[in-house]
Amino acid sequence: MDEEYDVIVLGTGLKECILSGLLSVDRLKFMMANGSLVRVLIHTDVTKYLYFKAVDGSYVYNKGKIYKVPATDVEALKSPLMGIFEKRRARKFFIYVQNYDENDPTTHDGMDLTRVTTRELIAKYGLDDNTVDFIGHALALHRDDRYLYEPALETVKKIKLYEESLARFQGGSPYIYPLYGLGELPQGFARLSAVYGGTYMLNKPECKVEFDEEGKVCGVTSEGETAICKKVVCDPSYLPNKVRKIGRVARAICIMSHPIPNTNDSQSVQIILPQKQLGRKSDMYLFCCSYSHNVAPKGKYIAFVSAEAETNQPEVELQPGIALLGPVDEMFFDTYDRFAPVNEPSLDNCFISTSYDATTHFETTVQDVLAMYTNITGKVLDLSVDLSAASAAEE
């Protein structure tokens, strides 16, 4: 262990493993089928170690029931979520989004989406609150309603991403999930790092980050041995004095013997419960997978219900999501605190990830990873990749 490294990455969480893979190639929580994580997988060529399968269904909770999420003008006309006049208004909105090209002003309909707020854009089409709810939360995947008061461009991009991802594998949802479960992701990046010369040291207890007289990181000590380094990448648990608590996540893990009711017997499904529908400050998420993704025995299903904890009774808080599951064989509850870094990496060379949020997709996770990558290397990762490289994931 007494050697010198450019970067030491502490921990084998998803963020840390992605960064170890990216940094190795650079020589130094479900995902969207066209999203940032898939682009990272292709950029690093880690797809050679992974197989994916499309998730069967994408649903949204509305007035006590769940509905398939309409993502195009055609689906809007068929959706029972909206009345006939609202369907027409929603169809016009979806056509606008589908045709929108940031670099082609003729598609902007006279609006500058870097200045027009999402609420102003929606008002132009006269959409009601229920429609705004599923567009903002189930399509654009915003976690709360702050996006309504922000420039509309980001929301339009997110909706386009959803639509493109839905079209990619022509399934019932825009999501893909690794065969054999999420553990395959960090494992794939770990292999990638090793291929490019990264060294993995497993079962190293009580890793202590060492600092020099100027307060800069200079190494990591474990079992009396110190590895010298210029930079450290880690999660908040390794440097508790350099982070602050930003929230708490509540989660229920449920084992069942049937698919979630009212999802067309989907073997895998994501359901988003928008905050307004529950009288909450943030959304609730429900994801279910099964033997179809090789994560459970045949006939068994695993469901996760998660949310930002807003009370001290997570079991009660998660009931709206749990109630959608039907009979549950066994249930486990879990809560954990969320932390964010407060240090200045340019001063101490410590690059600390933010704790995972309650979402069941990976867009926020990868945003954190990409921001950390830029801080570590001083470069922006180019993710303009050929997405057809992931076509093997279809099976």
Predicted confidence (pLDDT) per residue in 330-360, tens digit: 999 999 999 999 999 999 999 999 999 998 7
Q: What amino acid occupies position 285?
A: Y
What is the pTM for the complete model shown? Answer: 0.85
Cα–Cα nearest to 59, from 142, 130, 137, 159: 137
Per-residue pLDDT, 395: 42
Q: Are 173 and 393 in contact (CB under 8 A)?
A: no
Q: Picking from 23-27, 71-75, 232-236, which range would have the lowest pLDDT averaged per residue?
A: 23-27
Q: What amino acid occupies position 377?
A: T
Measured in degrees and rounded to the nearest 5, phi and psi for residue 379 equal -125, 150
Per-residue pLDDT, 77: 81
Cα–Cα nearest to 321, from 144, 79, 64, 31: 64
Predicted confidence (pLDDT) per residue in 10-43, tens digit: 887 878 877 887 787 665 644 444 556 666 666 6
**Residue 41: strand, helix, or coil:** helix
Tell how strand 217-222 and strand 4-9 pair up.
Answer: unpaired
pLDDT at 209 over 60: yes
Q: Are 352 and 15 in contact (CB under 8 A)?
A: no
Q: Are 163 and 71 in contact (CB under 8 A)?
A: yes
pLDDT band for position 379 (50/70/90)? confident
Helices (H), 63-136: 73-78, 84-99, 118-125, 129-134
Give all strands (DSSP E) within 152-273, no chain letters.
175-178, 208-211, 217-222, 225-234, 243-256, 269-273
Residue percentage of the chain with pLDDT more than 70: 89
Q: How far apart are CA 35 and CA 31, in angstroms?
A: 7
